[in-house]
């Protein structure tokens, strides 16, 4: 977490600066403002090395504070677990700097980069067919944030570990963007490979598809293509 903190200015942050931690070189998998005051964001939480951690602006500097959550899927998808984490974090921050803060409005997510919605909607595990349906726009279980999705790779257990999704920006005037991602079993979380316009050329699609396989082969003895350059569905 120190590598993240060292990139921060010694002042409260804007929502854009917090979400910017998700940009390349992607020091965190995702980041979210947690508490703010009149000066800006004074606490945020992020996925760092497969764990949810938090940092707060205390005594004129950023420092890691509060509990660390090892189960990323649980804290994102179980409301009571997330609420307890935030409550525990609030207690720690209040002890260290007083209780002059509030939870920012969800509207600040408009500043989040493409890939953020994928990170907070996908199940953080290799996907079963039921898990995958959360990414399909035409599925009853699907999230409205996604226009389309495609499974790309499966692991030896038959679970989906590589996908592409077309994510809708918060701003409806902006064009959708395609996100390529793979499941990192070392960190127990999904990682973004790259993002491109939603209508890329075949050359670009094939290149990022190959990049996704390279990432997977760093972690799996073998992977099987579900859709790709030599598959009819691609």
- Residue-wise pLDDT tens digits, 165-176: 999 888 888 899
Residue 166 in 3-state DSSP? strand
| DSSP conformation class of 194 | E
Residue 2 in 3-state DSSP? helix
- Residue-wise pLDDT tens digits, 12-60: 999 999 999 998 888 899 999 999 999 999 999 999 999 999 999 999 9
Q: Is the pLDDT higher at 234 or at 35?
A: 35
Residue 230: pLDDT over 80: no
Per-residue tokens: 183: 């499941």
- pLDDT at residue number 180: 95
Per-residue tokens: 192: 């973004």
* Torsion over CA: 199, 202, 204, 207 (sign): positive
Residue 217: pLDDT over 90: yes
- Residue-wise pLDDT tens digits, 116-171: 999 999 999 999 999 998 888 776 666 778 888 999 999 999 999 999 999 988 88
Nearest-angstrom CA–CA distance, 210 and 216: 10
Residue 234: pLDDT over 60: no
Secondary structure (DSSP) of 67-135:
EEES-HHHHHH-HHHHHHHHHHHHHHHHHHH-S--BPPPGGGGGGPPTTHHHHHHS-SSSBPHHHHGGG
């Amino acid at each position: 977490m120190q590598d993240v903190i060292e990139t921060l200015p010694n002042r409260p942050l804007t929502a854009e600066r917090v979400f910017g931690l998700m940009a390349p070189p992607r020091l965190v998998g995702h980041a979210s403002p947690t508490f703010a005051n009149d000066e800006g964001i004074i606490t945020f939480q992020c996925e760092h090395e497969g764990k949810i951690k938090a940092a707060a602006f205390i005594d004129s500097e950023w420092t890691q504070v509060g509990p660390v959550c090892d189960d990323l899927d649980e804290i994102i998808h179980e409301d009571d677990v997330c609420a307890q984490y935030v409550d525990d974090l609030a207690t720690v921050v209040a002890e260290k700097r007083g209780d002059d803060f509030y939870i920012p409005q969800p509207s600040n997510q408009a500043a989040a980069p493409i890939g953020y919605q994928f990170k907070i909607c996908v199940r953080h595990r290799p996907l079963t067919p039921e898990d995958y349906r959360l990414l399909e726009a035409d599925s009853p279980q699907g999230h409205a944030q996604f226009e389309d999705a495609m499974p790309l790779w499966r692991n030896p257990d038959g679970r989906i570990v590589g996908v592409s999704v077309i994510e809708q920006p918060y701003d409806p005037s902006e064009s959708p963007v395609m996100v390529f991602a793979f499941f990192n079993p070392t960190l127990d979380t999904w990682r973004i490979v790259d993002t491109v316009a939603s209508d890329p050329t075949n050359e670009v699609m094939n290149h990022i598809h190959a990049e996704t396989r390279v990432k997977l082969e760093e972690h799996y003895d073998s992977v099987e293509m579900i859709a790709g350059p030599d598959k009819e569905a691609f």
